[in-house]
Amino acid sequence: MKTIKEFQSILIPEFTRSLDKFVDSSFLKNYIELTEIYKYHLGLDDDWSKQGKRIRPLLTLMCCAGTDAKWQKSLPAAVSIELIHNFSLIHDDIEDNGLIRRGKDAVWVKWGLSHGLNAGDAMFTSAFKVLLTLKDNVSENITLKAVELLAETCGQLTMGQFLDIDFEEREFVSADEYLQMINGKTAALISCSTKMGALIGGFPPEEQKKYHDFGKALGIAFQMYDDWLGVWGDFKNTGKSTTGDIVEGKKTLPIILGIKNSTRFAEKLKQGKISQNSAIEMAQWLKEDGIEKLVIDTYTQWTENAFISLKEMKCTKLVRNALIELTNNLLIRKK
């Protein structure tokens, strides 16, 4: 049996080589400063801890392997999806005024707002350029379907981000609206990653749908767990500012459920600007009023949904077992 660690140790270095090669050989090579920004943000000139978890490319490569096809065929798609993810982080930091990304200055902090936008735009464009190189190893029809899938996903990401920012100004957001927002902002690219692997591996649409459903449930649980970390996580382990989401007025799952089910929490939030000390106390109220349990129950249910889809997917035993392990690891992650 191969563990997820063994898969990672084979697939991720190969993925990083493809990403590196693409960055060095694409249209960027004529723009030295832009190349520098890419390498900085993608962590290519740094140690692995600054590269991000690489979950999305790992999923694409593994899901392609799960169809019993050669996973190497899906490398351009894995690179392309990671570029879209990283582009969205560059723009997200600008929109959110985020100063630090993966433990170092965000791109816009280091190079300024305009170049932050420019680097993001270049990264978005290059994602589609690399995706088109799929056609060297798969049919033009599959390549076209892959481009369609990524373009559709980008639309969903934009919508999710729009809602996320919109919700900050709203007093009340329903659970359904929240679900729609995280489905766009986070789950769309994760389900695109899993479906992309099945598509490139040559599976028919009904099988691709099961891979999509697995990625969607995983992505939703992943974001809900992130929301839990944003209120009760340990800063030492996560690097995320504990209670920061309460101070910033984000409409994350604990906060939405708190507004609905904890009168003292809702009242305090209505009073306006929340200090760090108040946020610590409010996080404790949410625990006492049963909100933390509701959050854990909700993301546990989505994790179960991911396992159900994983069971229904046609997939090699080796990959299925490793995906089960990956799902478990992601939802108890400490990074």
> Which two structure tokens, joined as six digits, stand for 178?
């929240």
Residue in the block written with tokens 């996560």: 238
Query: What secondary structure, in 3-state letters, does 11-61 show?
Result: HHHHHHHHHHHHHHHCHHHHCHHHHHHHHHHHCCCCCHHHCCCCHHHHHHH
Name which of residues 25 to 64 contact ligand GRG (CB under 6 A). 52-53, 55
Q: What is the spatial distance between Cα 233 and Cα 7, in angstroms, rounded to a whole number?
A: 28
Residue nearest to ligand GRG (CB): 52
Interaction of residue 191 with ligand GRG, rule CB under 6 A? no
Nearer to ligand GRG, 182 or 199 (CB): 182
> CB of residue 326 vs ligand GRG: minimum separation in angstroms?
12
Q: Which amino acid is at 263?
A: T
> CB of residue 262 vs ligand GRG: minimum separation in angstroms?
26
Name which of residues 74 to 103 contact ligand GRG (CB under 6 A). 84, 88-89, 91-92, 102
Q: Please give the DSSP secondary-structure letter assigned to residue 69.
A: S
CB–CB of 58/190 below 8 Å? Answer: no
Count CB neighbours of 48 within 10 A: 12
Interaction of residue 240 with ligand GRG, rule CB under 6 A? no
> CB of residue 70 vs ligand GRG: minimum separation in angstroms?
26
Nearer to ligand GRG, 51 or 67 (CB): 51
Nearer to ligand GRG, 104 or 314 (CB): 104
> Which two structure tokens, joined as six digits, stand for 16?
């990083």
Provide the phi-psi class of 58: left if phi over 0, else alpha when psi is between -120 and 50, else beta. Answer: alpha
Nearer to ligand GRG, 112 or 239 (CB): 239
Interaction of residue 300 with ligand GRG, rule CB under 6 A? no
**Selected binder of ligand GRG within 185, 210, 250, 268 (CB under 6 A):** 185
Collapsing DSSP to helix, strand or coil, 138 comes out as coil
Rounded to 5 degrees, φ, ψ at 99 are -90, -30
**Selected binder of ligand GRG within 131, 157, 221, 283 (CB under 6 A):** 157
Name which of residues 195 to 224 contact ligand GRG (CB under 6 A). 223
> CB of residue 235 vs ligand GRG: minimum separation in angstroms?
16
Binding-site ranges for ligand GRG (CB under 6 A):
52-53, 55, 84, 88-89, 91-92, 102, 154, 157-158, 161, 185-186, 223, 226
